[in-house]
Amino acid sequence: DTVAALRALWTDEEASHEGTHVRFEPVWSFPKPVQDPHPPILFGGAGPLATEHTIAWADGWMPMDVSLGDVERALTRFRRRAAAAGRDIPVTLVTFGDPEPDTLRRYRDLGVARTVIGAARTAWDDPSTTLAYVDRYAPLVDELA
């Protein structure tokens, strides 16, 4: 319901929506998003209900509750269910800490569209402490793209 309302606001010149949880009369929402037709809507979660919702409404899957050791199995399970619904949904993984480059290569080889690396700081009051972290992964950008 919320996704349908957002899509209407982002794509219709004059949007209205009558749903279970979201209702609005004709409204005008500007400026429209730069992305055409709208920004991708990513859903997270790997449980049965989250997976069902992702397959029904999302433009991408970003599971936040898949352990690193379970990525391949979770991807296989998700893709099987998406294919049964006639969908091919890109996957974004989020990592925290300091993933090994080979782990990132493995995600690429598994067909992960994007991996977000949570950059660590050693001192929160000094953003420059992130630079060494960025330097570690910058050489991989072209390789993994």
CATH number of 40-144: 3.40.50
pLDDT per residue as tens digits for the range 52-76: 999 999 999 999 878 777 899 999 9
What token pair was written down for 71?
A: 């990525």
Stated length of the chain: 145
CB 107 within 8 A of CB 77: no
pTM for this model (two decimals): 0.85
Where in the chain are the domains?
A: 1-39, 40-144
The 10s digit of each residue's pLDDT in 92-137 is: 998 877 889 999 999 999 999 999 988 766 777 888 888 888 888 9
